């Protein structure tokens, strides 16, 4: 039952937070979620810890490699994109100020 | 309560990590804080990973397996992230979705094969996680291949598509159910492996027939899949952090798929089970019909002059700009005009380009400050007050038929009201249609003049002429 | 531990949801939260169920009465306020359209 | 999993109820959906209540106790809700906060006295719930009494205030700690009862010295207290629904307290432990100094004319409007002007009136459509384009000192920029200060003319003159 509560609350929270993200940031958002889905890495670690037969360890190794790639790669590419997002230098900026 | 400090520390670390993930998602809500948000998220993940090393089950050789896996995977991911072109972002995300799904599927399988006497609920999570993860894996690989042009955009499979789909889903449901009922033992394990293989096949067969242009939607859906799969593996290993993290990913994937579908005026079902196969022919016809209607061409210098002496210019970048890699030249042209005192802004349609927010990234790469980029809702009212609209490799997102023509396949899709401006200059290579495959009346509008040619080349000419003007 | 997760998620969710409420609605929001805090009524019921001595039952009775008043009163007064909130009849409405 | 259907039903009902509460809070985010939201919430609560009747522990006589309690309480609440004046909303909310806190305190006490061998965690929740609930109870009663004018606004207590506060908090902490350590038995029960009584006293002693004008902040804080108390009783009876519901209440209370403090440019601590006692004297001085400066009075007909022939008028309602119950006459005046083609809008400061959103409710009661009401951020830019600003019983929220004068106690508090308009007409009874007790330079601004007298009376005259004009 508690698991269901956690899941439900997380769903609502996720929905509300995602809807706040402006479309400007939708691509970085997607790559960031790639990184977050890398959280399964800890699951993979637990599996490697709990299984014994060598070939299950191999599966675990693959799982770890994949999810580690998500964590590192997702972070790096998101950061790369976000580094590029610049605000106009206040000096220049006037055009369309009214909009804001 | 907790009587053991080691476990207590791990629990606490997971909890903090969950909080960091939530906060990071909040920070990702604004360009100013997004970068910090991304760092908070990775911080949370690292904390969780480190904490997991203290888990008692992990001992001896496990460390080496884990460290090696992290090293290999991490290095691979880092290289990919550094190499990828901004225009290739959809492919990159496809791959990451696939790997996320793969991990969850592998966790499910090895947990089931490695442990005995698991509860029914756990087995259910295992079966579902295995199915959804596997579909995310192979589906993403196909999506990637299509985006890369490794496989043809629309591959008709032999046999009735609806039938195949139904068969696959039914088969997976059946096998999954059997696994849950058997719950344990050699037979159950065999069935699960069959489920696994069938799901892998299903990922291929489901995505293969979908049009290449719909891949962004597919990718968002598979992004959601990878999230759901993560939630399920969270239930498998009974870890709240994984449940929460996966849920956030799933929410984002669902939201973005719906957003795209809405912006393209299609239903998700329509995308996946594709009534879409029909449209392009219609588009072809449209294009055919198009030739007959009059089209005004314009010379670079004429276009340049009307740009140079305008007060207000709005640039409408589209997918073609990305293809032509013209983002940097556009920025050069824009700053040239701004030096001349022209007010230049960019109108960004939510689905311009090939994934949501794609145009923003491309233009950010070209050093366009994000406060020059206006979302459709914010700028659509201003076209009427605009002298010249420069449409660069955009098509569907400007198509007035979406407003006027109830019979048009894209009718109802919100579009940029460029035709309200004084004058419209369109840069594209020819008269061919956009991905929706429908004819665009804008190109035949008396206000509109076409400057044919590759976007980058055309803009190059414009720059030269504006310098001259 | 699970309780903490539920609590934390609820806190974040509550914060995000509350921040979305425009100041126009802050008074009804407060009375609505009065109603929601009436949820302790079920706690009071459980207490009445579990205690035996007559005077603890009296305490339980009071608790139930108070929280029931919150539920009913909070709902009624909020509804009374919200009933009064009207949008301008489209016919009339033009002034300050630009703002919206 | 759950092996028993009765419990399963109850659990499910609680879960659905929790979801309904969350959705309802989301619906409360827009005037269009707010009413539905309120209904969803009450629906969720009723569902939970009904389900609880199925709990096994409840049997025989319990039903009567419960039903009688619900009948009595419900009837009482309903009558209060129907009778209360919109201007008295703060009092009403104070009472409800008090009753919420009382319930939690009673739950804590009877649980501790009624049951034995409770876990440490539970006892901790009991002690805290008892303390916080009791403070919410008596504190709210004092707040109510002050708002009703039953006790004088500022009651200086004998002895050093900081010392008393510290003593109370320390004492409660100590007794609570002892309860938790003893954890069980007759002595522990006695200590808890002492804690309970001390907390009741603390509620009185903490709120008593706080200025009546700060009561709205106090009320919001006690609202948060009642929420936190509910969360704690949720932990006591181990019920997630109560935890979630209470958290939502707590979040709202905290947010609104901070919002008010920010809008008043004060810190919460400053409100509770009151450096405030000083300000009014300053205000008095200010008022004294005020008399010397020139003040332009205006006759009703002159004022009426400049209103009648204006293009743009903005009405700034304040607490005085509420006191004068002038909301209906204001609406009458406004519609009169609108009939003459004048564009009339209302500028609502976040803390105009005596609680957040209070003005909106009062004006809604007077049938002012909510889209005529503009929040400060949205309208502050328009004063410069406005011909006449009609300030009715508002003072602090218009005080330019908040922008200009770093020495003013309200410096930094965001205010309405009324002085940017062509002309300002202020309706108030005399030159006395607002609640912040500071002189308002606006009244001496050449642009400003004062129309002295009770707001309702003055508006009545204006209406007559506008009709004549
Ligand atoms: N962003 C998303 O999330 C997303 C997801 C899925 C689907 N879509 C769809 O993608 C479309 C996006 O609309 P859009 O207007 O941006 O693009 P579009 O409608 O696909 O049109 C792109 C246009 O660019 C032109 N073009 C291609 N290469 C060019 C080059 N090198 N130089 C100059 N022009 C070139 C093409 O015409 P020529 O061949 O004649 O040059 C084509 O008409 C929408 O239909 C949307 O539904 C978007
Ligand atoms: N809304 C909230 O949440 C909240 C909470 C706590 C504190 N506050 C404080 O309350 C104040 C609200 O500002 P405000 O400008 O709305 O009110 P204000 O600054 O308190 O001023 C109200 C003015 O109304 C006049 N007045 C009183 N009765 C009147 C009557 N019958 N007819 C005509 N005028 C009358 C008074 O002047 P005369 O006596 O000369 O007529 C007084 O100057 C702010 O200082 C705010 O910080 C608000």
Residues of B in contact with C5 (CB under 8 A): 15, 18, 240, 244
> Taking 70 as the threshold, does the pLDDT of residue A52 lie above it?
yes
Interface test with D, best of C1, C7, C24, C54 (most D CBs within 10 A): C24
> Which of the four pLDDT bands, split at 50, 70 and 90, describes residue D216?
confident
pLDDT tens digits for B353-372? 878 899 999 999 888 888 88
Looking at per-residue pLDDT, the higher value among A43 and B154 belongs to A43
What's the rounded Cα separation, in Å, for the pair D194 and D431? 50
Q: Does A3 touch chain C (CB under 8 A)?
A: yes
Beta carbons of B179 and B192 less than 8 angstroms apart: yes
Residues of A in contact with C6 (CB under 8 A): 2, 5-6, 9
* Contact B324 CB / ligand 1 (< 6 Å): yes
Q: How far is B379 from chain C (nearest CA, A)?
A: 14
What's the rounded Cα separation, in Å, for the pair D432 and D435? 10
Q: Does A13 touch chain C (CB under 8 A)?
A: yes
Q: How far is A9 from chain D (nearest CA, A)?
A: 8
Q: What is the ipTM of this complex?
A: 0.89
Residue B282, Cβ density class (10 Å: 0-12 exposed, 13-18 middle, ≥19 buried):
middle
CA-closest candidate to residue B375, choices A26, D211, C12, D264: A26
Alpha-helix runs per DSSP H in D54-160: 61-83, 89-114, 120-147
From ligand 2's centre to the CA of D354, what distance in Å? 8
Q: How far is C5 from chain B (nearest CA, A)?
A: 7
CB atoms within 10 A of CB D197: 12
> Which of the four pLDDT bands, split at 50, 70 and 90, describes residue C90?
low
Closest-approach residue (CA) in chain C for A2: C2
Cα D431 versus chain centre, distance: 27
Compute the mean pLDDT over every residue in chain A, rounded to the nearest whole number. Answer: 88
Residue B257 token pair:
């798929």
The pLDDT of D338-355, averaged and rounded, is: 90
> Taking 90 as the threshold, does the pLDDT of residue D210 lie above it?
no
Residues of C in contact with B11 (CB under 8 A): 1
Alpha-helix runs per DSSP H in B84-119: 89-114
Beta carbons of D166 and D179 less than 8 angstroms apart: no
Three-state DSSP state, D449:
strand
* Cβ-proximal residues to D25 (8 Å cutoff; 6+ apart), any chain: C14, C17, C18, D37, D41, D248
Which pLDDT belongs to residue D53?
95
Compute the mean pLDDT over every residue in chain B, rounded to the nearest whole number. Answer: 90
> Which of the four pLDDT bands, split at 50, 70 and 90, describes residue D204?
very high
The pLDDT of D342-364, averaged and rounded, is: 90
The binding-site residues of ligand 2, defined as CB within 6 angstroms of any ligand atom, are: D 213, 216-217, 260, 264, 318-320, 323-324, 351-356, 358, 393-397, 427-430, 432-436, 454-455
DSSP strand pairing (B343-348 vs D388-392): unpaired
How many Cα atoms are found within 13 Å in the side-chain-facing hemisphere of D6? 6
What's the rounded Cα separation, in Å, for the pair C47 and D62? 10
Percent of chain C scoring above 90 in pLDDT: 73
What's the rounded Cα separation, in Å, for the pair B7 and B15? 12
pLDDT tens digits for B63-119? 999 999 999 999 999 999 999 999 899 999 999 999 999 999 999 999 999 988 889
In which region does residue C96 sit, left (phi positive, over 0), alpha (psi from -120 to 50) or beta (all else)?
left
User: Which ligand lies nearest to the CA atom of residue B93 in the structure?
Assistant: 1
Residues of A in contact with B231 (CB under 8 A): 7
CA-closest candidate to residue A35, choices D360, B41, B58: B41
CA-closest candidate to residue D126, choices D246, D231, D224, D244: D231
Which pLDDT belongs to residue B288?
41
What's the rounded Cα separation, in Å, for the pair B113 and B130? 12
Q: How far is B409 from chain A (nearest CA, A)?
A: 24
From ligand 1's centre to the CA of B317, what distance in Å? 9
Whether C12 and B22 lie within 8 Å, measured CB to CB: yes
The pLDDT of A57-78, averaged and rounded, is: 97
What's the rounded Cα separation, in Å, for the pair D69 and C67? 9
Tell me which of B160-174, C84-98, D442-456 is least confident.
Answer: C84-98
Which pLDDT belongs to residue B261?
86
Q: What is the 3-state secondary structure (H, E, C) of B329-362?
A: HHHHHHHHHHHCCCEEEEEECCCCCCCCCHHHHH
The pLDDT of B25-32, averaged and rounded, is: 94
DSSP β-bridge partners for residue D388: D313, D423
Which pLDDT belongs to residue D261?
86
Residues of A in contact with B219 (CB under 8 A): 30
> Taking 80 as the threshold, does the pLDDT of residue D209 lie above it?
yes
Interface test with A, best of B252, B340, B349, B373 (most A CBs within 10 A): B252
From ligand 1's centre to the CA of B352, what distance in Å? 7
Residue B178 token pair:
């059997």
> Which of the four pLDDT bands, split at 50, 70 and 90, describes residue C98?
very low
In which region does residue B118 sit, left (phi positive, over 0), alpha (psi from -120 to 50) or beta (all else)?
beta
* Contact B434 CB / ligand 1 (< 6 Å): yes
From ligand 2's centre to the CA of D289, what distance in Å? 20
* Contact B323 CB / ligand 1 (< 6 Å): yes
> Taking 70 as the threshold, does the pLDDT of residue C97 lie above it?
no
Three-state DSSP state, D373:
strand
> Which of the four pLDDT bands, split at 50, 70 and 90, describes residue B412?
confident
Closest-approach residue (CA) in chain A for C12: A13
Whether B11 and C8 lie within 8 Å, measured CB to CB: no
From ligand 2's centre to the CA of D378, what distance in Å? 22
Query: How many angstroms separate the most distant Cα atoms in chain C?
Result: 66
Contacts made by residues D146-151, CB under 8 angstroms, sequence distance 24+? D146/D207, D146/D212, D146/D215, D147/D88, D147/D90, D147/D91, D147/D94, D147/D212, D147/D215, D147/D354, D148/D91, D151/D208
pLDDT tens digits for B156-168? 777 777 788 889 9
Q: Which of D11, D343, D372, D396 is catalytic?
A: D396
In the complex, which subunits touch A with 3 or more CB pairs below 8 angstroms?
B, C, D
* Helix or strand holding residue B426 (H, E): strand B423-428
Whether B19 and C9 lie within 8 Å, measured CB to CB: no
Residue D110 token pair:
């009877």
Residues of C in contact with A9 (CB under 8 A): 6, 9-10, 13
> Taking 80 as the threshold, does the pLDDT of residue A94 lie above it?
no
Residue indicated by tokens 């980058």? B456
Residues of A in contact with B52 (CB under 8 A): 42, 45-46
* Cβ-proximal residues to A7 (8 Å cutoff; 6+ apart), any chain: B231, B243, B247
Question: CA torsion angle for C6, C8, C11, C13 (degrees, to 10)?
Answer: -70
The pTM of the full predicted model, rounded to 2 decimals, is 0.89
pLDDT tens digits for B303-342? 999 999 999 999 999 989 988 889 899 999 999 999 999 9
Percent of chain D scoring above 90 in pLDDT: 69
Provide DSSP, chain C: -HHHHHHHHHHHHHHHHHHTS-GGGHHHHHHHHHHHHTTHHHHHHHHHHH--SHHHHHHHHHHHHHHHHHHHHHHHHHHHHHHH--PPPTTT--TTGGG-
What's the rounded Cα separation, in Å, for the pair A56 and A49? 11
pLDDT tens digits for D96-151? 999 999 999 999 999 999 988 889 999 999 999 999 999 999 999 999 999 888 88
Rounded to 5 degrees, φ, ψ at D388 are -130, 130
DSSP strand pairing (D312-317 vs B423-428): unpaired
Nearest CB to D113; choose among C49, C56, C93: C56
> Which of the four pLDDT bands, split at 50, 70 and 90, describes residue D159?
confident
Please say if B396 is a catalytic residue.
Answer: yes
User: Which ligand lies nearest to the CA atom of residue D221 in the structure?
Assistant: 2
* Local structure of residue B157 (DSSP, 8 states): P
> Taking 50 as the threshold, does the pLDDT of residue B173 lie above it?
yes
Residue D9 token pair:
């039903």
Which pLDDT belongs to residue B436?
77
Three-state DSSP state, B107:
helix
Q: Does B3 touch chain D (CB under 8 A)?
A: no
Q: How far is B140 from chain A (nearest CA, A)?
A: 13
pLDDT tens digits for B114-150? 988 889 999 999 999 999 999 999 999 999 999 888 8
Pocket test for ligand 1, best of B212, B361, B435, B462 (most atoms within 8 A of CB): B435
Whether D240 and A1 lie within 8 Å, measured CB to CB: yes
What's the rounded Cα separation, in Å, for the pair D165 and D162? 5
pLDDT tens digits for D275-306? 444 444 333 333 444 456 788 999 999 999 99
Query: How many angstroms separate the most distant Cα atoms in chain A?
Result: 66
> Taking 50 as the threshold, does the pLDDT of residue D92 lie above it?
yes
Using N-to-C axis directions, what is the helix angle for D215-236 and D240-263, rounded to 10°?
Answer: 160
> Taking 70 as the threshold, does the pLDDT of residue C94 lie above it?
no
> Which of the four pLDDT bands, split at 50, 70 and 90, describes residue B3?
low
Residue D323, Cβ density class (10 Å: 0-12 exposed, 13-18 middle, ≥19 buried):
middle
From ligand 2's centre to the CA of D285, what distance in Å? 18
Q: Which of B214, B372, B396, B454 is catalytic?
A: B396
DSSP strand pairing (D343-348 vs B423-428): unpaired
Ligand 2 atom closest to Cα of residue D264? 47
Cα D155 versus chain centre, distance: 21
How many Cα atoms are found within 13 Å in the side-chain-facing hemisphere of B118? 30
* Cβ-proximal residues to C75 (8 Å cutoff; 6+ apart), any chain: C32, C35, D38, D41, D42, D81
What's the rounded Cα separation, in Å, for the pair B158 and B78? 40
> Taking 80 as the threshold, does the pLDDT of residue A29 lie above it?
yes
Closest-approach residue (CA) in chain B for C5: B15
Percent of chain D scoring above 70 in pLDDT: 95
What's the rounded Cα separation, in Å, for the pair D77 and B25? 41
> Which of the four pLDDT bands, split at 50, 70 and 90, describes residue B292?
low
């Amino acid at each position: 039952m508690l698991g269901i509560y956690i899941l439900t609350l997380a769903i609502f929270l996720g929905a509300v937070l995602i809807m706040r993200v402006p479309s400007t940031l939708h691509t970085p958002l997607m790559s960031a979620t790639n990184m977050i889905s890398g959280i399964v890495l800890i699951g993979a670690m637990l599996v490697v810890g709990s299984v014994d037969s060598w070939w299950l360890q191999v599966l675990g190794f693959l799982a770890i490699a994949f999810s580690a790639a998500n964590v590192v790669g997702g972070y790096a590419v998101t950061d790369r994109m976000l580094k590029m997002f610049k605000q106009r230098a206040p000096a220049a900026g006037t055009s369309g100020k009214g909009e804001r | 309560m907790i009587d053991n400090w080691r476990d207590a520390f791990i629990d606490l670390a997971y909890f903090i990590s969950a909080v960091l993930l939530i906060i990071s998602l909040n920070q990702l809500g604004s360009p100013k804080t997004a970068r910090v948000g991304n760092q908070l998220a990775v911080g949370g993940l690292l904390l969780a990973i480190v904490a997991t090393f203290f888990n008692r089950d992990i001992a001896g050789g496990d460390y080496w397996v884990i460290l090696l896996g992290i090293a290999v995977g991490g290095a691979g991911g880092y290289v990919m992230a550094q190499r990828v072109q901004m225009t290739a972002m959809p492919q990159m995300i496809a791959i990451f979705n696939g790997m996320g799904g793969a991990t969850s599927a592998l966790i499910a399988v090895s947990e089931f094969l490695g442990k005995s006497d698991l509860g029914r609920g756990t087995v259910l999570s295992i079966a579902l996680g295995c199915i959804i993860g596997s579909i995310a894996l192979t589906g993403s690989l196909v999506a990637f291949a299509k985006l890369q042009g490794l496989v043809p955009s629309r591959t008709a499979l032999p046999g009735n598509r609806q039938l195949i789909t139904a068969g696959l889903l039914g088969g997976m449901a059946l096998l999954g159910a059997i696994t849950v009922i058997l719950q344990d033992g050699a037979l159950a394990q065999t069935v699960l492996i069959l489920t696994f293989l069938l799901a892998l096949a299903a990922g291929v067969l489901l995505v293969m027939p979908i049009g290449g242009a719909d891949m962004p939607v597919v990718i968002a859906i598979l992004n959601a899949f990878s999230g759901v799969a993560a939630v399920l593996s969270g239930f498998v290993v009974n870890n709240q952090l994984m449940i929460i993290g996966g849920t956030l990913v799933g929410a984002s994937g669902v939201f973005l798929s719906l957003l795209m579908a809405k912006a393209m005026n299609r239903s998700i079902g329509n995308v996946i089970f594709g009534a879409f196969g029909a449209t392009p022919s219609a588009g072809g016809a449209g294009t055919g019909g198009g030739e007959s209607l009059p089209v005004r061409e314009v010379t670079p210098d004429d276009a340049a002059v009307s740009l140079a002496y305008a007060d207000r210019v709005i640039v409408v970048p589209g997918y073609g700009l990305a293809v032509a890699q013209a983002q940097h030249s556009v920025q050069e042209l824009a700053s040239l005009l701004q030096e001349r005192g022209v007010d230049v802004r960019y109108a960004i349609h939510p689905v311009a380009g090939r994934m949501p927010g794609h145009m923003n990234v491309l233009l950010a790469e070209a050093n366009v400050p994000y406060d020059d980029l206006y979302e459709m809702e914010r700028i659509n009212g201003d076209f009427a007050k605009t002298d010249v609209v420069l449409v660069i490799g955009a098509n569907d997102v400007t198509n007035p038929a979406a407003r006027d023509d109830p019979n048009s396949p894209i009718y109802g899709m919100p579009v940029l009201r460029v035709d309200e401006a004084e004058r419209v200059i369109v840069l594209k290579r020819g008269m061919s249609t956009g991905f929706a495959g429908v004819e665009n009346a804008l190109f035949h509008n008396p206000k509109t003049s076409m400057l044919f040619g590759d976007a980058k080349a055309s803009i190059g000419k414009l720059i030269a002429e504006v310098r001259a003007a």
